Structure 1
Amino acid sequence: MPEMPEVQGLVDFLAGRATGRRISVARLGSIQALKTYDPPLEDLLGATVRGARRHGKWLDLVTDPMSGDGAAHLVFHLARAGWLRWYEELPKTQLRPGRSPIALRVGFDDGSGFDLTEAGTKKRLAVHLVRDPDAVPMVATLGPDPLDPAFTVEALASILAGRRTRLKGVLRDQSVLAGIGNAYSDEILHAARMSPYLLASALTDDDVGVLHEAIVAVLQRAVQAAAGRPAAELKDAKRAGMAVHGRAGEPCPVCGDTVAQVSFADSALQYCPSCQTGGKLLADRRMSRLLR
């Protein structure tokens, strides 16, 4: 799933490529991807792109005023298996709903454009056309952005105070902190040398400072690695920058211990036992059942 750094990379890429362009194509490839009906998607035709923004993991393509009612925002979430595919020359082939991975096609007056694609059978990619991004419920309820200057150590302490929830879950909760998902929560906890199962309420003041530093450092580094890259290279840049996420069975780059994994129904977390859990392996109930 694209997280804050990759989404920011896509935002920067779109802002550089699409700003000032007039939209000439706005066509659905998957009816279920579009979550709004007013204004209709056709209202984008002829609109000029004014820029791109990010709200957590949501991308926001901002266009000029629509029917005198303010700017139109094409707000979309790529979900687990979605991506943005950019073309310097948009394909001329007709979309066949239900027959391809393309959820939405947007084209511009210079012939360029992009497809929003989604692999797999679980279709969760979401597209909203709204006059205000806060009209999207999951945008309106986002927590603070960890790279906002207002996200201080004190702000994090206030968020964590009394919260009897595992740190892994806290970091992934978009209503608590916006933009962090499974991958970067693994990386942040590894950098902070903290167990993903540690309760947020158990952190001392010093621990909160360490966690805050890890959050900001890991995300800033990843955003910098994504900066200036074309959309097609962002996934590889993300994978290359991971210390533990997606690297179960490989040596930890810090201590050399073997990176371990806990599997869940539809996801998994990775961690270093030596760096994060005092050498102890975390219980993996799903794997334990398989070994019986």
Structure 2
Amino acid sequence: MAVIQSSAEIMSLLEPLKGQRIAALQVLGVNSLKTFSPTPEALVGEVVEAADVVERTINVDTANHVISFDLQRTGRLVLLESAEPYRLVAGTARPTVRLLMADGSGMDLTEPAKTKRITVTLVVKPA
């Protein structure tokens, strides 16, 4: 069984994302995206201003949006030094979510089970 990441461990993994420009958000879990507006494409070019963890939910703030990733019970955050858009390749594990940064880095949200429970919610910040 996978070891559950602590809030402190997740926070340390989120640190390198601060100040980075978002290149893309790929939501690869079929039922993972819980909002239709704004779309993930609205995040392109936004800069990560802050990130925090409340229990098993990661909140990433930009100037205009808040992205919430609920890791549920077994989700894990994996920092990627070099990341490209996910492409289906036989024999490789598919992340539930991939966040790509303009500098070529990124993060995957993964789950050990075939049932994908990680959820993604995008909210526009009030003006």
TM-score for both structures, normalised by structure 1: 0.38
Once the 2 structures are TM-superposed, how far is the Cα of residue 94 of structure 1 from its aligned partner?
A: 1.4
Contact 1:12 1:52 in 2 (8 A): no
SS of the counterpart of 2:50?
strand
Normalized per residue, the structure richer in strand is 2
Q: Deviation digits for residues 133-165 of structure 1, max 9, x if unmatched?
A: xxxxxxxxxxxxxxxxxxxxxxxxxxxxxxxxx
Q: How does 1:1-292 map to 2 (within 5 A)?
A: 2=4, 6-14=6-14, 16-65=15-64, 72-91=65-84, 93-95=86-88, 100-131=93-124
Structure 1 letter corresponding to 2:26:
R
Structure 2 letter corresponding to 1:8:
A
Once the 2 structures are TM-superposed, how far is the Cα of residue 101 of structure 1 from its aligned partner?
A: 3.4
Q: Which runs of 5+ in 2 are unaligned?
A: none
Structure 2 letter corresponding to 1:130:
V
CA distance in 2, matches of 1:79, 1:12: 19
Structure 2 letter corresponding to 1:106:
L
Contact 2:7 2:54 in 1 (8 A): no
Normalized per residue, the structure richer in helix is 1
Q: Deviation digits for residues 194-244 of structure 1, max 9, x if unmatched?
A: xxxxxxxxxxxxxxxxxxxxxxxxxxxxxxxxxxxxxxxxxxxxxxxxxxx
CA distance in 2, matches of 1:33, 1:93: 16
CA distance in 2, matches of 1:95, 1:48: 28
Once the 2 structures are TM-superposed, how far is the Cα of residue 34 of structure 1 from its aligned partner?
A: 0.9
CA distance in 2, matches of 1:74, 1:58: 10
Q: Deviation digits for residues 226-276 of structure 1, max 9, x if unmatched?
A: xxxxxxxxxxxxxxxxxxxxxxxxxxxxxxxxxxxxxxxxxxxxxxxxxxx
Structure 2 letter corresponding to 1:9:
E
Contact 1:33 1:126 in 2 (8 A): yes
Q: Deviation digits for residues 79-124 of structure 1, max 9, x if unmatched?
A: 222111111111455147xx84311111111110011111213321
TM-score for both structures, normalised by structure 2: 0.82
Larger Rg: 1
Of structures 1 and 2, the one scoring higher in RCO (CA 8 A, sep 6+) is: 2
Contact 1:29 1:95 in 2 (8 A): no
SS of the counterpart of 2:7?
helix
Structure 1 letter corresponding to 2:82:
E
CA distance in 1, matches of 2:73, 2:119: 11
Aligned-pair identity (%):
29
SS of the counterpart of 1:81?
coil
CA distance in 2, matches of 1:27, 1:20: 20
CA distance in 2, matches of 1:91, 1:129: 22
Contact 1:29 1:100 in 2 (8 A): no
